[in-house]
Amino acid sequence: MVIHPGYLTPLMTAGRNTFINEIINYANGRNIAADSILPWPTLSVEEIIQRNPDVIIISDMGQITEQAKQMWQEERFTGVSAVKNKRIYVIDADSLCQPTPINFIKAVRQMREYLK
């Protein structure tokens, strides 16, 4: 799984020492960037294709969110499992990016739904 913020470049995700990685773990997911020593690593297109996530979750960032979803439909991503299986989801940015106890629980629940 890769978490992609709503902006298009760079492709940024959550590393292992972040609360978002904890959310992924509690939702029984596997973060493809958990091996990064950086908290918010950027991944190249080649790395995304090589790591081949089953699910891509975009944090909702208003108008740019639709552009971010459309980006994954480009030909260069057609071999990625999440794209092939139409498993690209948008999660509420407030739940995901504001680490309060209630938001943490909301984000875990939403992510579990996406990972079914």
Q: At what angle do helices 19-26 and 101-115 cross, to 10 degrees?
A: 50
Predicted TM-score (pTM) of this structure: 0.85
CA 92 to chain centre: 12
Environment class of 19 (CB within 10 Å of its CB; exposed 0-12, middle 13-18, buried 19+): middle
Angstrom distances, CA of residue 2 to CA of 37, 41, 87, 90, 101: 16, 11, 11, 12, 22
111 membership: H or E segment, kind and range: helix 101-115
What percent of the chain has a predicted confidence (pLDDT) above 70? 90
**3-state SS class at 2:** strand
Cis preceding linkage at 53, omega within 30:
no
Residue spans of the domains in the chain: they are: 2-115
Round to whole Å and give the CA distance between 56 and 101.
24
pLDDT digits (tens, 9 = 90+) for 23-72: 999 999 999 999 999 999 988 888 989 999 999 998 877 667 777 788 88
**3-state SS class at 92:** coil
CATH architecture entry for 2-115: 3-Layer(aba) Sandwich (3.40)
User: Residue 110: is its pLDDT beyond 70?
Assistant: yes
8 Å CB contact between 7 and 40 = no
